[in-house]
Amino acid sequence: MSASYRHSFEATANVTSRPGAFVITFGLPLLMYTFTFFCNDTTGCPVPSLLSPSTLTLKKLKEDAGWPVNGIWGLCNWEVFLKVCGYYVWSIALYFILPGDVREGQPLALGGARLKYKFNSKIHVRAVLAIAKSS
Protein backbone atom coordinates (compact mmCIF):
# COMPACT_ATOMS: atom_id res chain seq x y z
CA MET A 1 0.00 0.00 0.00
CA SER A 2 1.52 3.29 -1.03
CA ALA A 3 1.39 6.60 0.79
CA SER A 4 -0.84 8.02 -1.93
CA TYR A 5 -3.64 5.53 -1.19
CA ARG A 6 -6.93 7.24 -0.31
CA HIS A 7 -9.86 5.35 1.07
CA SER A 8 -13.43 6.25 0.19
CA PHE A 9 -14.49 7.63 3.58
CA GLU A 10 -13.02 10.93 4.71
CA ALA A 11 -14.36 12.58 7.88
CA THR A 12 -13.73 16.11 6.62
CA ALA A 13 -13.65 15.54 2.86
CA ASN A 14 -16.86 17.38 2.09
CA VAL A 15 -18.81 18.54 5.13
CA THR A 16 -21.86 19.54 3.10
CA SER A 17 -22.39 16.27 1.25
CA ARG A 18 -21.19 13.79 3.90
CA PRO A 19 -21.42 15.45 7.29
CA GLY A 20 -21.47 12.25 9.40
CA ALA A 21 -18.35 12.60 11.55
CA PHE A 22 -18.66 16.38 11.75
CA VAL A 23 -22.29 16.21 12.90
CA ILE A 24 -21.59 13.52 15.48
CA THR A 25 -18.53 15.33 16.84
CA PHE A 26 -19.99 18.83 17.08
CA GLY A 27 -23.74 18.58 16.56
CA LEU A 28 -24.58 15.83 19.02
CA PRO A 29 -22.98 17.53 22.05
CA LEU A 30 -24.75 20.79 21.16
CA LEU A 31 -28.05 18.93 20.87
CA MET A 32 -27.53 17.29 24.26
CA TYR A 33 -26.73 20.63 25.94
CA THR A 34 -29.81 22.13 24.29
CA PHE A 35 -31.99 19.37 25.72
CA THR A 36 -30.33 19.73 29.11
CA PHE A 37 -30.98 23.43 29.46
CA PHE A 38 -34.15 24.01 27.46
CA CYS A 39 -35.97 20.85 28.53
CA ASN A 40 -35.50 20.06 32.20
CA ASP A 41 -37.31 18.59 35.20
CA THR A 42 -37.56 21.94 37.00
CA THR A 43 -39.66 23.95 34.55
CA GLY A 44 -40.67 21.38 31.95
CA CYS A 45 -40.17 21.25 28.24
CA PRO A 46 -39.61 23.78 26.81
CA VAL A 47 -38.74 26.27 29.51
CA PRO A 48 -41.56 28.82 29.95
CA SER A 49 -39.54 31.83 28.79
CA LEU A 50 -39.12 30.27 25.32
CA LEU A 51 -42.90 30.17 24.88
CA SER A 52 -43.17 33.97 24.91
CA PRO A 53 -40.38 35.27 22.68
CA SER A 54 -41.56 38.88 22.91
CA THR A 55 -40.65 39.01 26.62
CA LEU A 56 -37.60 36.76 26.36
CA THR A 57 -34.50 38.04 28.13
CA LEU A 58 -31.22 36.29 28.79
CA LYS A 59 -31.66 36.75 32.55
CA LYS A 60 -35.12 35.14 32.53
CA LEU A 61 -33.91 32.30 30.29
CA LYS A 62 -31.02 31.58 32.67
CA GLU A 63 -33.40 31.46 35.62
CA ASP A 64 -35.88 29.16 33.86
CA ALA A 65 -33.23 26.84 32.44
CA GLY A 66 -31.42 26.38 35.74
CA TRP A 67 -28.16 27.91 34.56
CA PRO A 68 -25.59 28.00 37.43
CA VAL A 69 -25.19 31.31 39.25
CA ASN A 70 -21.43 31.39 38.65
CA GLY A 71 -21.80 30.79 34.90
CA ILE A 72 -20.10 28.08 32.92
CA TRP A 73 -17.74 27.31 35.80
CA GLY A 74 -20.78 26.13 37.73
CA LEU A 75 -20.94 23.19 35.32
CA CYS A 76 -17.45 22.08 36.39
CA ASN A 77 -16.72 20.05 39.45
CA TRP A 78 -13.06 19.94 40.46
CA GLU A 79 -13.53 16.77 42.51
CA VAL A 80 -14.86 14.91 39.47
CA PHE A 81 -12.13 16.40 37.27
CA LEU A 82 -9.44 15.11 39.62
CA LYS A 83 -11.07 11.67 39.76
CA VAL A 84 -11.12 11.44 35.96
CA CYS A 85 -7.47 12.51 35.78
CA GLY A 86 -6.67 9.91 38.45
CA TYR A 87 -8.44 7.25 36.40
CA TYR A 88 -6.32 8.12 33.35
CA VAL A 89 -3.11 8.01 35.39
CA TRP A 90 -4.22 4.68 36.90
CA SER A 91 -4.97 3.26 33.43
CA ILE A 92 -1.58 4.34 32.09
CA ALA A 93 0.16 2.78 35.10
CA LEU A 94 -1.79 -0.46 34.62
CA TYR A 95 -0.78 -0.57 30.97
CA PHE A 96 2.87 -0.71 31.96
CA ILE A 97 2.47 -2.85 35.11
CA LEU A 98 0.05 -5.59 34.08
CA PRO A 99 1.12 -8.52 31.89
CA GLY A 100 -0.39 -9.02 28.46
CA ASP A 101 0.29 -10.33 24.99
CA VAL A 102 2.01 -7.82 22.71
CA ARG A 103 1.01 -8.08 19.05
CA GLU A 104 1.79 -6.07 15.97
CA GLY A 105 -1.00 -4.32 14.10
CA GLN A 106 -1.53 -3.87 10.39
CA PRO A 107 1.08 -1.97 8.36
CA LEU A 108 0.46 1.76 8.32
CA ALA A 109 -0.28 3.44 5.00
CA LEU A 110 2.59 5.88 5.44
CA GLY A 111 5.86 4.00 5.72
CA GLY A 112 4.50 0.53 6.39
CA ALA A 113 5.54 0.47 10.06
CA ARG A 114 3.54 -1.69 12.45
CA LEU A 115 2.36 -0.43 15.83
CA LYS A 116 2.52 -2.73 18.83
CA TYR A 117 -0.56 -3.33 20.97
CA LYS A 118 -0.68 -4.83 24.43
CA PHE A 119 -3.72 -7.00 25.12
CA ASN A 120 -4.40 -6.90 28.85
CA SER A 121 -7.97 -5.63 29.00
CA LYS A 122 -9.45 -8.46 31.09
CA ILE A 123 -6.98 -8.05 33.93
CA HIS A 124 -7.15 -4.26 33.53
CA VAL A 125 -10.93 -4.28 34.02
CA ARG A 126 -10.56 -6.49 37.09
CA ALA A 127 -8.02 -4.09 38.62
CA VAL A 128 -10.23 -1.06 37.94
CA LEU A 129 -13.31 -2.79 39.37
CA ALA A 130 -11.36 -3.84 42.46
CA ILE A 131 -10.46 -0.20 43.13
CA ALA A 132 -14.06 0.91 42.45
CA LYS A 133 -15.43 -1.75 44.80
CA SER A 134 -13.05 -0.78 47.59
CA SER A 135 -14.05 2.90 47.54
| Mean pLDDT, the chain, integer | 82
pTM above 0.75, yes or no: no
Residue 135 has pLDDT above 80, yes or no: no
64 closest CA partner among 35, 43, 95, 33: 43
* Contacts for 64 with CB less than 8 Å, ≥ 6 apart: 43, 47, 48, 49, 50
Q: Mean pLDDT lowest for which of 13-17, 19-23, 103-107, 111-115?
A: 13-17
Q: Give me the amino acid identity at 57.
A: T
